[in-house]
Amino acid sequence: MRNYYESEVGRFKNAIIPDAHFSKELLPTVAKALEGKEDKKVHLYCTGGIRCEKASSYLIKKGFKEVYQLEGGIIQYAHDMKENDLKSEFIGKNFVFDDRMGERVTNDIIGKCHQCKTPSDDH
């Protein structure tokens, strides 16, 4: 459950990136993108796990049978990967909502500057 700009700098490999710029757009955008796949497993992730709580309830009410979420979000995932010396399936930077604007998870830079198009993971 990441806004488009959050996914620009970091995401899980093969994640569906909703074309939503604001959190209030996320739930209907994701439900529409997954329409017809109510019998498939849905795995949600977000920065710290809070947005996924609301999203999982929403999707279950929309008829999705198996909805899972990453406990503790990307913050906890990154901590667990480093602590256990495991390879991360999340690439790039975790966008966070404080002065840092991001927390490095891997050294991959997957974003581009919106003006000059050079690799960048800063907002």
* Domain boundaries defined on the chain: 4-104
The model's pTM: 0.84
Active-site position among 46, 52, 113, 116:
46
Q: What's residue 40's pLDDT?
A: 94
Let me know if 116 is a catalytic residue. no
- The CATH superfamily label for domain 4-104 reads Rhodanese-like domain (3.40.250.10)
Give residue 5's pLDDT band: very low, low, confident or very high (50, 70, 90): confident
In this structure, are residues 47 and 6 in contact, taking their beta carbons and an 8 Å threshold?
A: yes
Query: 23: closest CA among 5, 2, 50, 43?
Result: 2
- Other beta carbons within 10 angstroms of residue 2's beta carbon come to 26
Is residue 37 pLDDT above 80, yes or no? yes
